[in-house]
């Protein structure tokens, strides 16, 4: 047993202890929990390492180190240890994302070695809901995307990602990984859209899924249709599916400067429960 504070790469045998840490904040940890539920802690299947911080012989904090670097229930001591491990390994991630305060601390320690970042989004409200307001009518034309509609949904997904992140998901490997992820969401019935005349007008996906919660992502309205309330009715439709078929709580996080989106989410029942921070490279 580890009796002194230390950090190490977790192994498959640490799964139950890691899940216990993740369950402390099921909404904030939904993304990582969903990956661990599917892949366990094997780095090859997980797509990265899971670092654990032990204090008094007990696993106290985690950090997922894959395409994203994600601190989880991290104490200041754990953040220091995770930052040192990340510094020694060198930057391999495309972003750091997690609860705002711990992510801010982690980035402050890594910035002298990894900086500058391409963009920092210091405050991204984390929002949740358990119910759909009775006065909000779901868009009846929003439905699950069919497997034979990949060619229809992909341009909208690429447009959303490029608009949101600032770079195209088709860069690097030509978009193979991104297309595979979209195909996975479509095949599992977690991609939704309103399609008119063979073109996507509104879309959103249910990304991370756990027994506690699901996380809605990729919300997008075609530019020429914005300002018509389609984001509200479309989100209401996705929430109808999410809360009925997937999990008892739906969550999302949004940029604080996106006032129209925040207002739309509030109108369909979301309330703020915390904040994330993202550091983009």
CATH of 143-273, one of 3.40.50.300, 3.40.800.10, 3.40.50.1970, 3.40.630.30: 3.40.630.30
Tell me the backbone φ, ψ of residue 25, rounded to 5 degrees: -140, 80
Q: What is the pLDDT along the chain (281 residues), one digit of tens a residue?
A: 444 567 899 999 999 999 999 999 999 999 999 999 999 999 999 999 999 999 988 999 999 999 999 999 999 999 999 999 999 999 999 999 999 999 999 999 999 999 899 999 999 999 999 999 999 999 999 999 999 999 999 999 999 999 999 899 998 788 899 999 999 999 999 999 999 999 999 999 999 999 999 999 999 999 999 999 999 999 999 999 999 999 999 999 999 999 999 999 999 999 999 999 999 99
**Whole-prediction pTM:** 0.92
Cβ burial of 13 (10 Å; 0-12, 13-18, 19+) is: exposed
Distance CA(274)–CA(160), nearest Å, equals: 24
Domain boundaries, the chain: 6-116, 143-273
CA neighbor of 21 nearest in space, from 65, 80, 82, 64: 64
Same CATH topology for 6-116 and 143-273? yes
Class of domain 6-116: alpha beta
CA neighbor of 275 nearest in space, from 109, 118, 125, 77: 125
């Amino acid at each position: 047993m580890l009796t002194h504070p230390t950090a190490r790469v977790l192994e498959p045998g640490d799964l139950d202890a890691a899940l216990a840490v993740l369950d402390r904040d099921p909404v904030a940890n939904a993304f990582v929990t969903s990956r661990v539920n599917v892949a366990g802690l094997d780095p090859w299947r997980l797509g990265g390492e899971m670092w654990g911080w032990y204090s008094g012989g007990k696993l106290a904090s985690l950090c997922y180190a894959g395409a994203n670097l994600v601190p989880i229930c991290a104490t200041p001591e754990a953040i220091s240890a995770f930052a040192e491990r990340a510094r020694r390994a060198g930057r391999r991630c495309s972003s750091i994302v997690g609860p705002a305060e711990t992510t801010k601390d982690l980035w402050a320690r890594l910035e002298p070695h990894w900086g500058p970042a391409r963009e920092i989004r210091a405050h991204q409200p984390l929002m949740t809901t358990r119910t759909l307001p009775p006065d909000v009518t779901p868009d009846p034309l929003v439905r699950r995307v069919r497997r034979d509609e990949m060619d229809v949904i992909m341009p909208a997904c690429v447009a959303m990602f490029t608009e949101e992140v600032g770079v195209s998901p088709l860069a690097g490997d030509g978009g193979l990984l991104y297309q595979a992820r979209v195909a996975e969401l479509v095949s599992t019935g977690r991609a939704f859209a309103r399609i008119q005349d063979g073109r996507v007008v509104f879309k959103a996906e249910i990304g991370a899924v756990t027994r506690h919660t699901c996380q809605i992502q990729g919300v997008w309205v075609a530019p020429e249709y914005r300002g018509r309330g389609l984001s509200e009715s479309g989100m209401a439709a996705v929430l109808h599916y999410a809360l009925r078929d997937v999990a008892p709580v739906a969550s999302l996080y949004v940029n604080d400067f996106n006032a129209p989106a925040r207002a739309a989410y509030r109108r369909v029942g979301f309330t703020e429960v915390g904040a994330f921070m993202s550091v983009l490279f």
